[in-house]
Amino acid sequence: MRRDMHPFDWETIIDKIPDILIATDRHGTIITVKGEDLHRLKVRRDMLIGRMIRDFLLPKNNGARTDACVRLPCEMKRPDGREMVLGIADHIVTPDGNEIWVCRDNVISEETEQFLDLYHDSMKKSLFQMIEDKNRSLEKLTQALVNALENANLFHDTETHNHIIRISEFSALLAQKMELPAEIVKKITLYSPLHDVGKVGIPDKILKKKDLYRKGEIEKMHEHVVIGARMLANPGIDPVVTNIVLYHHERWDGSGYVHGLRGKAIPIEARIVTIADTYDGLRTKRRYKKAVAHETAVDIMSKGSGSFFDPDILDCFLKTEDEFESISLRYS
């Protein structure tokens, strides 16, 4: 039985098939010996592993003929195109001179193939289940982190509460309008409120300053995206949330920060949050600025197509501007 025919756990398979004594690779090298049958060969496992099967054939069968048999490809096919495994029967001789008759016929082959099919199906189902369980675990972990960091943000900045709700609603609306897969829409809706989570690492004297920022303070504020990404630097955290946090201040033309990414090099989830965050920033009163009317915000943003914003996503924004205004008023 050739080990390299199927990518499975051959030791497990051999244990399930009582007729197999030895498994070889395509070259005839012994790679597995069924443990419970070793007593029939009167040898230890380590005496067989790595040896050529021909080494144990009777002298009259050894040599070129045996090499050819070991390497001979089967060209016979069943009507459905599958390879037909031929039967084989011969004597083998153990190191102490004992002869043992071994055989393999088509009945055993058919049973083995049926077992392999069942084993393959079982492995696939188990793998899919493992992936689903892993995804659920990651989602729960990230959700817990979202809740914890949102609470930290709220504690740090009392103006954040309605802002993060609006960002989630705006981002979900754009993701749906872009006809993204439902799973991506769900993630963007869930993770977009964390876009500014890195601001918990910005000193209060800067974060809550009432006047316009100076150059050094602006540079310090820009660090919040890097701080946020570091907070999320864990293999168990969904990369979608990291992309939102790290890249939502990048600009379509490459003029944003901190990496200067441009165009579609910016993850789409970040491009969506950029538009949501910009609109909300224009519509919201801050300590250092007044809020602008909805119409003014739309006019300002429409001029940023192809420079600040992804033109396609901005087009979705312009088509749903009334819904943006409703969300803004609902959570003002």
Q: What top-level class would CATH report for the domain 3-104? A: alpha beta
Complete DSSP assignment for 174-241: HHHHTT--HHHHHHHHHHGGGTTGGGGGS-HHHHT-SSPPPHHHHHHHHTHHHHHHHHT--TTS-HHH
The proportion of the chain whose per-residue pLDDT surpasses 70, expressed as a percent, equals 58
Residues 300 and 309 sit within 8 Å (Cβ to Cβ): no
Question: CA 1 to CA 105: how far, in whole Å?
Answer: 12
At 143-184, the pLDDT tens digits run 666 666 556 555 555 566 788 889 999 999 999 999 999 999
Of 84-88, 153-157, 213-217, 228-232, the one with minimum mean pLDDT is 84-88
More confident residue, 1 or 328: 328
Q: DSSP per residue over 243-266, as a string?
A: HHHHHTT--TTS-SSSS---GGGS
Please calculate the CA angle 223-228-230 and round it to the nearest 5 degrees.
100
Reduced to 3 states (helix: H, G, I; strand: E, B; else coil), residue 2 is strand
**Looking at the domain covering 134-330, what would its CATH class be?**
mainly alpha
User: Which has more confidence, 294 or 199?
Assistant: 294
Mean pLDDT rounded to a whole number for the chain: 76
Of 8-22, 68-82, 138-152, 204-218, where does mean pLDDT reach its minimum? 68-82
**Between residues 63 and 244, the one the model is more confident about:** 244
Domain ranges for the chain: 3-104, 134-330
Confidence of residue 3 (pLDDT cuts 50, 70, 90): very low
Instruction: Find, among 104, 123, 119, the residue nearest to 13 by Cα.
Output: 119
Residue 178 has what pLDDT? 97
pLDDT of residue 82: 55
The answer to whether domain 3-104 and domain 134-330 are alike in fold is no
pLDDT score of 8: 47
